[in-house]
Structure 1
Amino acid sequence: MSLSRLFLTDFRNHADASLDVAPGFVLLSGPNGAGKTNILEAVSLLTPGRGLRRAPLSEMARQDGEGGFAVAARLDDGTDIGTGTLSTAPERRRVRINGAPASVNALSERLSVLWLTPAMDRLFTDSAGARRRFLDRLVLALEPGHARHSARYEAAMRARNKLIAEPDGADPAWLQALEAGMAEHGEPLAAARRRTVDALAAAIAASPDGEFPRAGLSLEGGDEGDLAAALKANRGRDAAAGRATAGPHRQDLVVTHLEKSQAAALGSTGEQKALLIGTILAHADLVTERRGQPPILLLDEVAAHLDPDRRTALFERLAGRGQVWMTATESGLFVGIGDATRFRVERGVHAA
């Protein structure tokens, strides 16, 4: 599935923008600060989650606007989807599908969207939480129901953390209900992550050598077995720590450079970038195989950080793989790409 048109209203620096796009490459060029990444962020909001910047919704509304924003799109099958906020409720996200109100999680049934941004270059040296969020985006593209389990697990965990911190002690019945909720959603959450890691690791290992090195993937932590029982046994320790010390929120994605048999975090900046790109490309192939359609890829300033050989290899790998949105400060960085929808972003969005 891909977009055929994207509409932005009071989103970031775009007061009113409309982009007609085709399947394949969608190339955005223009100076820093013109709003190229804002357009990618808008597309990323057409799936569950907080988008590629993970920013508060209130920050997405245009500063000189009325306080709310809207992002809408028409898919190539004619479906209309949209999301946004009202000025009266700047942190309440609203979703519509074909004009009717819908849940945020319903978006994952329509589109799968993956992205790479410059901030993700340090993923392998970042926190375990950052790698879990990256992994959850990969899982969501394969299993749309993952968003519901993730949201409900997090809600139950936050409520339990608050409850065990009460100085007069927690209500045992309420605590047990919250722990049952964490187990109900946490166990399928962890299982979905493992299925994705195992499938992706196998796909990468079987892939041929090329310009992008192969990554070894594994998942550590979160092996509590009966999660409800583990949470009950840990109540005293969790009360002292102020948080749950068992559960899938403690899982970590471990990445290695297969050819070098070394942790990805020990590689050079260029090697880490190449490992990340190779992983995303392999995952896009896996999504295409499993869901029968490729995901939309959002690649922010990726070409600028690759040497010419890897840039050419990337363009060749991406050709014919569904809709790929890319940004660059100079259109010359897109040399080698043939047919594409091209825009110049500078004081507005203009066909290039």
Structure 2
Amino acid sequence: MLTRLLLQDFRSWQVLEAPFNAPIIAIAGENGAGKTNLLEAISLLGPGRGLRGARMSEYGRRTDGQARSWAAAGRFQTPHGTYDIGTGADPDGTSERRVFRLDGQPVRAQADLADRIAIVWLTPQMDRLFQESASGRRRFLDRLVWALEPTHAREVAAHDNAMSQRNRLLAGGRADPAWLAGLEDAMARHAVAATAARRGLVARLNAVMAAGTATGAFPAARMDLVCPIGAALAEQPALAVEDALRAALAEGRRRDAAAGGAARGAHRADMALIHLPKDQPAEMCSTGEQKALLISTVLAHAALIAEARGFAPLLLLDEVAAHLDQARREALFAALVTLPAQSFLTGTDSEVFRPLQGIADRFRATPGILVPEAETGSR
């Protein structure tokens, strides 16, 4: 559980020190009060690029047109003890990469933090997940996999790096066949490993969603991995799938050169969610139903992480009440109370969180200020 958050010159927050003492944290405030910025800072305490996927230059609070050096730190209380994670801009200014510290000591690789922390989020931008391109759904799926399998991000990054090099060589028109073969071998190996991890997550998540104990009154859902490599892995051994993909990449060089990218690989995967009571894909459901399906998914995922990894994740739900009617909001709050995870909720209307009084830590956010709800005089 995150028990304290410290921010310095992070986006709209000049200085913040906030204690958290409950498994549910509800933050209300008008648009522009910095609620999403606060959740983004928490998301950056784990590996990855955070809930906005922003560039380093965007994090620092801007004064006189210049971005200031920024930092975020959290204290976590676990059954195995207390530890501190910090991240921010390089204080020496020698690197453009985000730096991390664990209990004051430098962290060599972001993936090392995955053994300590898992963070999952829903944002209003994800409400269009099923109307936009497959890349957004694939990133959503990969975040779920990464929280369960810390090495997954390395496999995806290695595949994408080999693919980018192959694309550049093919575009040049004079690539060494042996060099291309080496890159295609790397693509095949990492694509199969990444796809196997995606398949594993989908199977385990579907089992939790089928049980229904973590998702409460939210609709039963099924996740499908839409991926030729995944379909092949369901029928053949991994080595055979690697060989077939390697051969297909070699055969397709001329076509890929003309198209400007590889027609096969881990980057061609997509994710689908099915509303089981209606037997209907998410893209055919209403906006409210799509939101409910995503909530059902992240609730099940949080329960799966807690069971599989022995520690509860952080669940960041930005403006989660949007598109939810009163019955669904009450169902969400009831599910969060029983969930083995710490949840952070934001919204513009503090009255939405009234059912959580006595259960959650409730805060009021105004630009640059975060105070307990009780101190505002509104209940």
Question: 1:132 corresponds to which residue?
Answer: 138
The one of 113, 137, 158 equivalent to 1:107 is 113
Instruction: Confirm whether residue 78 of structure 1 aligns to residue 82 of structure 2.
Output: yes
Q: What is the aligned-residue identity percentage?
A: 50
Question: 1:343 corresponds to which residue?
Answer: 363
In the TM superposition, 1:209-248 aligns within 5 A as 211-223=217-229, 225-226=241-242, 227-248=245-266
The one of 338, 344, 347 equivalent to 1:328 is 347
1:177 Cα shift? 2.2
Segments of structure 1 that go 5 or more residues without pairing to the other structure are none
* Separation (CA, whole Å) in 1 of partners of 2:68 and 2:370: 22
* Separation (CA, whole Å) in 2 of partners of 1:210 and 1:295: 18
* Separation (CA, whole Å) in 1 of partners of 2:273 and 2:48: 24
* Separation (CA, whole Å) in 2 of partners of 1:63 and 1:114: 28
Question: 1:94 corresponds to which residue?
Answer: 99
Instruction: Confirm whether residue 173 of structure 1 aligns to residue 209 of structure 2.
Output: no
Deviates more, 1:220-229 or 1:81-90: 81-90
In the TM superposition, 1:155-304 aligns within 5 A as 155-167=161-173, 169-207=174-212, 211-223=217-229, 225-226=241-242, 227-304=245-322
1:211 Cα shift? 3.0
What per-residue deviation string (whole Å, max 9, x for no partner) do you get for residues 236-274 of structure 1? Answer: 111111111111110111221111111110111111111
Letter in 2 for 1:217: M
* Separation (CA, whole Å) in 2 of partners of 1:222 and 1:80: 42
Tell me the TM-score normalised to structure 2 length: 0.87
Question: 2:377 corresponds to which residue?
Answer: none
1:91 Cα shift? 4.1
Instruction: Confirm whether residue 46 of structure 1 aligns to residue 64 of structure 2.
Output: no
Is the contact made by 1:114 and 1:137 (CA closer than 8 Å) also made in structure 2?
yes
* Separation (CA, whole Å) in 2 of partners of 1:125 and 1:43: 28
Is the contact made by 1:27 and 1:327 (CA closer than 8 Å) also made in structure 2?
yes
Tell me the TM-score normalised to structure 1 length: 0.94
* Separation (CA, whole Å) in 2 of partners of 1:101 and 1:234: 44
Distance 1:214 1:91, change over 3 A: farther
* Separation (CA, whole Å) in 2 of partners of 1:151 and 1:72: 26
Distance 1:89 1:26, change over 3 A: farther
* Separation (CA, whole Å) in 2 of partners of 1:30 and 1:123: 25
1:107 Cα shift? 1.9
3-state SS, counterpart of residue 79 of structure 1: strand
Is the contact made by 1:74 and 1:80 (CA closer than 8 Å) also made in structure 2?
yes
Is the contact made by 2:216 and 2:335 (CA closer than 8 Å) also made in structure 1?
no
3-state SS, counterpart of residue 87 of structure 2: strand
Deviates more, 1:261-270 or 1:97-106: 97-106
Letter in 2 for 1:61: G
Is the contact made by 1:342 and 1:351 (CA closer than 8 Å) also made in structure 2?
yes
* Separation (CA, whole Å) in 2 of partners of 1:129 and 1:297: 22
RMSD: 1.8
Is the contact made by 1:12 and 1:63 (CA closer than 8 Å) also made in structure 2?
yes
* Separation (CA, whole Å) in 2 of partners of 1:308 and 1:189: 40
Deviates more, 1:98-107 or 1:188-197: 98-107
What per-residue deviation string (whole Å, max 9, x for no partner) do you get for residues 147-187 of structure 1? Answer: 221222222222221121113x1122322222222223221
Instruction: Confirm whether residue 314 of structure 1 aligns to residue 335 of structure 2.
Output: no
3-state SS, counterpart of residue 125 of structure 1: coil
Is the contact made by 1:32 and 1:329 (CA closer than 8 Å) also made in structure 2?
yes
3-state SS, counterpart of residue 270 of structure 1: helix
